[in-house]
Structure 1
Amino acid sequence: MATGTEPHTDTGVRGAARAAIAARHLRTDRWWLAPAATAGGLLAFIVYSTWRAFANSDYYAAPYVSPFYSPCLAENCVPMKGGPNWEIFGSWWTLSPALLILVFPLGFRLTCYYYRKAYYRGFWASPPACAVAEPHRKYTGETRFPLILQNMHRYFFYAALPVAVILTYDTALAFRDAEYAWGHMGLGTVVFLVNIVLIWAYTLSCHSCRHIIGGRLRHFSRHPVRYRLWGLVGRLNERHMLLAWSSLISVALADFYVYLLASGAFVDPRFF
């Protein structure tokens, strides 16, 4: 008979209704390497992007502008001839202009379905890996704060689209020389071209994009164009993890390349 003084019964995989297995897990391989690598990669990007976002310097070397700082939305931006300088925030904004724009691609990535899995396993440890005990007392998924904010992913997708368009414009401007004459192509142009291709591939491979294009169609035969687009996005979606990491690395490399040029540490090799 219950007396009310019994010790607390664990829930989850160690609940009273589950098999009483003393071992913390039954895996013999180094299952923790994948979550650790995920955590290390994301942490490295967070540290680098935070440093660059607050630096507020060395983000423009004609004709290249760092993707972290484009478009420039405050008066404290350095002059960028022909670049997307929209001083809609005026002079009252005194912090780095990158902080005004990075929130949108950052929000898009943080709520991305792949990154959810990646940082849930790498940081949240939920779940850490197959056949490894769930460390949390109760699994609530994305029904409570702060994880319920992941449901904003579709809206961040809408915000990420114009950012990708602007970065495409910046890539077109990379075909100018330092005197803003067209017909230039340097190593930086190639860096920007690779980056924008990966940015678009990652953005369009998004699960929300796939659903928006064809997720709610009842009859594909009545919508042949949308069906073909849905199939194309579906093939990209199969490589969503690869595109997520590739675009993350490429956007950091594009920013770092501009930093090297702007700080005078490197001279952009010109092909023609």
Structure 2
Amino acid sequence: MASTETPTGVNGPTRAQIDARTLRRDRWWLSPLTTFVVFTAFVIYATWRAFSGAHYYASPYLSPLYSPCLTNLCVEGASDFGQPFSWWQLSPALLILIFPLGFRMTCYYYRKAYYRAFWLSPPACSVAEPHKKYTGETRLPLILQNIHRWFWYAAMVIACVLTFDLVLSFRNAEHEWGHMGLGSVVLLINVVLIWLYTLSCHSCRHILGGRLRHFSKHPVRYKLWTWVSKLNARHSLLAWASLFSVALADLYIYLLSTGVITDVRFF
């Protein structure tokens, strides 16, 4: 018996019946290809570093991939919040990376980016996707994207922890205050970008200004909503910048820990 299911997506009855994959003449494939290459490189690097469980602390600097370090496998000086998960015997990074990773994976911008680059859904505007059926984010596993707001709360906590790590970086290797090295600058740039990316999130904008009937009755929230809305316009740029800053901060600390380079001390 022939199927009576109505086609969806580009084959739907309301879409233009064009046989060509696209009528675009520009290099539309360049953007998804770049995203695919960069994301793949970051995933490979972050996976290697997360599972290595080593060279993530060079006093007084702690890698953002391992912060907070909460297990008894953490090297001396890295556990600023204690070791409450002493039973965890895998890499300490694997215990906490689920939160920043979950925040980024469910991020509205990152969804667009990896849907296009990895699933070709669609690969670009005005380019037909190869999938014949579209269900949106209504079924497993994509329905889990709807917990993005809860990951945003966790991301705010992580941003506070990274800020605390930044404060601790203004010490020397013996933990004496009043010192500053190049590592402090690297961590400062990373923390600023992390905060800007987190605060520019669509969920943050909705939490501040959503469901308000009258902005005039909530001047503080309106002011915050206005500021976050300006950041939100640059959310994609901040998503990329903060991704690079996390990797570079970790790489800098890795090179310090392995003795490949030495920290430049300003005072």
TM-score range, shorter chain: over 0.9
Which residue of 2 is the match for residue 49 of structure 1? Answer: 46
Give 1:21 deviation, angstroms. 3.1
SS in structure 2 at match of 1:96: coil
Q: Distance in 2 between matches of 1:126 and 1:21?
A: 18
The range that moved more, 24-33 or 225-234, is 24-33
Which residue of 1 is the match for residue 82 of structure 2? Answer: 86
Aligned counterpart in structure 2 of residue 193 of structure 1, from 188, 198, 202: 188
Which residue of 1 is the match for residue 155 of structure 2? Answer: 160
SS in structure 1 at match of 2:246: helix
Higher Cα radius of gyration: 1
Letter in 1 for 2:156: L
1:39 aligns with 2:29: no
Matches within 5 A, 1:1-272: 4=1, 12-14=9-11, 19-80=16-77, 83-90=79-86, 92-272=87-267
Give 1:130 deviation, angstroms. 2.0
Give 1:10 deviation, angstroms. 6.2
Give 1:25 deviation, angstroms. 1.8
Aligned alpha-carbon RMSD (Å) = 1.9
With over 3 angstroms needed to count, the CA separation of the structure-2 counterparts of 1:218 and 1:136, relative to structure 1, is same
Give 1:14 deviation, angstroms. 3.6
With over 3 angstroms needed to count, the CA separation of the structure-2 counterparts of 1:16 and 1:71, relative to structure 1, is closer
TM-score (norm 1): 0.93
Preserved CA contact (<8 Å) 2:99 2:151: yes
Letter in 2 for 1:160: A
SS in structure 2 at match of 1:139: coil
Q: Point out 4+ residue stretches in structure 1 off by more than 6 angstroms.
A: none
Give 1:164 deviation, angstroms. 0.7
Give 1:20 deviation, angstroms. 4.5
Structure 2: any 5+ residue segments left out of the alignment? Answer: none
The count of corresponding residues between Structure 1 and Structure 2 is 267
Give 1:215 deviation, angstroms. 1.1
Q: Distance in 1 between matches of 2:243 and 2:249?
A: 10
With over 3 angstroms needed to count, the CA separation of the structure-2 counterparts of 1:144 and 1:271, relative to structure 1, is same
TM-score (norm 2): 0.95
Structure 1: any 5+ residue segments left out of the alignment? Answer: none
Q: Distance in 1 between matches of 2:231 and 2:204?
A: 11
Preserved CA contact (<8 Å) 1:71 1:86: no
SS in structure 2 at match of 1:74: coil
Alpha-carbon displacement from aligned partner over 1:217-242 (angstroms, at most 9, x marks no partner): 11111111111011111111010001
Give 1:209 deviation, angstroms. 0.6
Give 1:13 deviation, angstroms. 2.4
Preserved CA contact (<8 Å) 2:8 2:134: no
Aligned sequence identity (%)? 66
Preserved CA contact (<8 Å) 2:71 2:92: yes
Q: Distance in 1 between matches of 2:2 and 2:233?
A: 53
Q: Distance in 2 between matches of 1:120 and 1:12?
A: 14
Q: Distance in 2 between matches of 1:87 and 1:113?
A: 34
Q: Distance in 2 between matches of 1:84 and 1:43?
A: 32
With over 3 angstroms needed to count, the CA separation of the structure-2 counterparts of 1:242 and 1:270, relative to structure 1, is same
Letter in 1 for 2:59: A
SS in structure 2 at match of 1:202: helix
SS in structure 2 at match of 1:129: coil
Preserved CA contact (<8 Å) 2:10 2:132: no
Give 1:11 deviation, angstroms. 5.0
Preserved CA contact (<8 Å) 1:25 1:131: yes
